[in-house]
Amino acid sequence: MNGSPETVWNECLAFIRDNISRQSYRTWFEPLQAVALEEEEGVVRLTVQLPSRFYYEWLEEHYFALLRKTITKVLGPNGRLFYDIVIERDEAEVHGPAGGAGAPRGGASMQLPARQPANQPPAPGTPPPQVDGLPRSNETRDGRTAPGRPAAPEPPGSPGAAPAGASPFVIPGIRKPDIAPNLNEAYTFERFIEGDCNRLARSASWAIAQQPGQTAFNPFLVYGGVGLGKTHLIQAIGNYARANGRAESVRYVSSERFTSEFVQAIQNNRIAEFSAVYRSIDLLIVDDVQFFGGKEKTQEEFFHIFNALHQDGKQIVLSADRPPRDIAGIEERLLSRFSWGLAADVQLPELETRIAILRRQAEESGTRVRPEVLEYIATHVKSNIRELEGALIRLQAHAALVGREIDLEMAREVLRDLIKEARPSLTVEEIQRVVCDYLKIPEDLVRARTRKREVVQARQIAMWFAKELTAHSLKTIGLHFGGRDHSTVIHGIQSVNDQLDTDPTFRETIEAIRKRLDLNTR
Ligand code: ADP
Ligand code: MG
């Protein structure tokens, strides 16, 4: 067999990179390393090391076909891919060297092409398949068995979950400070409906809730627009970890609350205490970190707390209303840390997910709502989940008031204004404002003569949205941009289309702006 494991794997990576988005590539493939390449009886085995079992589950579920194709392409029909899953012991990474079935050295391996397509991968939340040599989740970092931890993850909310017991690591006489968890108990995984819009974020959250601080996702950042479930999801991690004894001290705070606690600590001369309390947390959840923007002192304090927790293997979970690179007014060193682990987005839910959310909500409130009514609401209210829930609550209130059962006619009548308001057309100026606001460019520049690169790009993006979201002709659109002619508009739209075809980061930016515009059309 020619080549080292690295060169062969690099060939595989080149192929994989061309077939998936940059974000997925960076999250799932960049951290992997090839550790062995062996040939035996005509079968070539490439072993790659995975940082955790969650990677194994995720790759099997989402990239099985791609990996198989890649291996066949690079190694030929007799190529096989093996996984070697890292088991952390004593803080140092001990990797069992690659081995196939029956390998004596403890490295966990799976022969990938052997999986039958009919063999469904495990859904997040179900116990992973037993793989020889794999650590079960009742092994702690140092390889000992932790009391009170079930061998396999329990389904959310299952009874009999062990409460956090007395920690064997707390020295008697030295009391850990009491940490108020500050969690809303209604935000659980059980109540969180999974859809394509939130699958990665939900699966990663679930993995983290099982083993806070022990997955590759530290910190874990969930980002996305308002009302899409960020707060719900990150609190679900806290609620689950607490209820199942996975973390002894959990605290949820909004970044604003963190800031005001910090300011108070300064005023009362209690910084040391503030800092000590936060550093003693096992699972720290900070919501809406974009509000740290511009608050330098708070950021500095948070930076040090972050470092201390991260070094201790404590879990940090964050949320933001946009991807880390777009958050303004946050120091580079902190921003870069936000991207150390995993950043996963939540998107607007698709119709089926919206219906499922409404059905769950109706069930919980104990009212019977006909399927066609749920579908009617879900079809017309699509801006975000909070609005969706609001629409149903309004309808239920009305039904109670008039003492009638909810039907389609009532839904039409009661929600008429809400739904009519749902899609007024945008003006070109609104589009310019939202685009410039997002890209942090003074709005009047898109109508001015300047040819600075960022301005030209913002202008072209705004033109592109104007074409897509308004009924104006190219000529009229040009007039809104400082009287440019229609060929300039065509050129602008074309260059946005070109970049959309080639640049996944750019696509993400466009999608983020589109969500902003969606919110504006209400
Ligand atoms: P965000 O923090 O992103 O603004 P929230 O977490 O506050 O959004 O969610 C808004 C409302 O929608 C909450 O009542 C939440 O319970 C509900 N919600 C959001 N996503 C889901 C989901 N996937 N399944 C069920 N309810 C959801
Ligand atoms: Mg929120």
- Give pLDDT, residue 27: 77
Q: Whose alpha carbon is nearest atom 9 of ligand 1?
A: 229
Residue 383's pLDDT is what? Answer: 85
Task: Give the distance (Å) from ligand 2 centre to CA of residue 443.
Answer: 28
237 three-state secondary structure: helix
Q: What per-residue confidence (pLDDT) applies to 126? A: 38
The secondary structure of 429-491 as a DSSP string is HHHHHHHHHHHT--GGGGGSS---HHHHHHHHHHHHHHHHHS---HHHHHHHTTS--HHHHHH
What residue owns the CA closest to ligand 1's atom 19?
Answer: 229
Question: For residue 345, what pLDDT band results from cuts at 50, 70 and 90?
Answer: very high
Atom of ligand 1 nearest to the CA of 235: 6
Pocket of ligand 1, beta carbon within 6 A = 191-193, 198, 226-232, 357, 385-386, 389
Which of 156-165, 267-276, 281-290, 481-490 is modeled with the greatest confidence? 281-290
Choose the weakest-confidence range: 120-124, 182-186, 193-197, 261-265: 120-124
Label residue 243 by pLDDT band (50, 70, 90).
Answer: very high
How far apart are the C-alpha atoms of 13 and 462, rounded to whole Å?
A: 36
Residue nearest to atom 1 of ligand 1 (CA): 227
Token code pair at residue 507: 């696509």
Point out the ligand 1 atom lying closest to the alpha carbon of residue 194.
23
User: Are residues 196 and 155 in contact, defined by beta-carbon separation less than 8 angstroms?
Assistant: no
**Has residue 141 got a pLDDT over 70?**
no
Which atom, in ligand 1's list, is nearest to the CA of 346? 3
Q: How confident is the model at residue 87 (pLDDT cuts 50, 70, 90)?
A: low
Locate the ligand 1 atom nearest the alpha carbon of residue 232 and give its number: 6
The sign of the torsion formed by the CA atoms of 512, 514, 517, 519 equals negative
Say what the pLDDT of residue 207 is.
94
The tens digit of pLDDT for each residue in 15-63 reads 999 888 877 787 788 888 899 999 888 889 999 988 777 777 778 878 8
371 versus 416: which is more confidently predicted?
A: 371
State in Å: Cα 387 to ligand 1 middle. 10
pLDDT at residue 67, rounded to an integer: 93
Confidence of residue 307 (pLDDT cuts 50, 70, 90): very high
Kindly report, residue by residue over 419-476, the tens digit of the pLDDT: 754 455 688 999 999 999 999 999 999 999 999 999 999 999 999 999 888 878 888 9
Q: How far is the CA of 26 from the centre of ligand 1 (A)?
A: 28
Probe ligand 1: pick from 188, 350, 386, max atoms within 8 Å of CB? Answer: 386
What burial class does residue 165 get, using C-beta atoms within 10 Å of its C-beta: 0-12 exposed, 13-18 middle, 19+ buried?
Answer: exposed
pLDDT in tens, 388-426: 999 999 999 999 899 999 998 899 888 887 775 445 568
User: What's the 363 CA to ligand 1 centre distance in angstroms?
Assistant: 16
192 has pLDDT over 70:
yes
Rg (CA), the chain: 26
- Distance (Å) from CA 385 to ligand 1 centroid: 6
Average pLDDT over the chain reads 81
26 Cα: distance to centroid of ligand 2 (angstroms)? 27
Type of residue numbered 233: L
Q: Which residue owns the Cα nearest ligand 1 atom 26? A: 192
95, pLDDT greater than 80: no
Ligand nearest to the CA of 233: 1
Q: What is the Å distance from ligand 2's center to 229 Cα?
A: 7
| Residues 257 and 274: beta-carbon distance below 8 Å | no
User: Residue 368's pLDDT is what?
Assistant: 84
User: What is the reported pLDDT for 182?
Assistant: 94
C-alpha span between 229 and 54 (Å, rounded)? 22
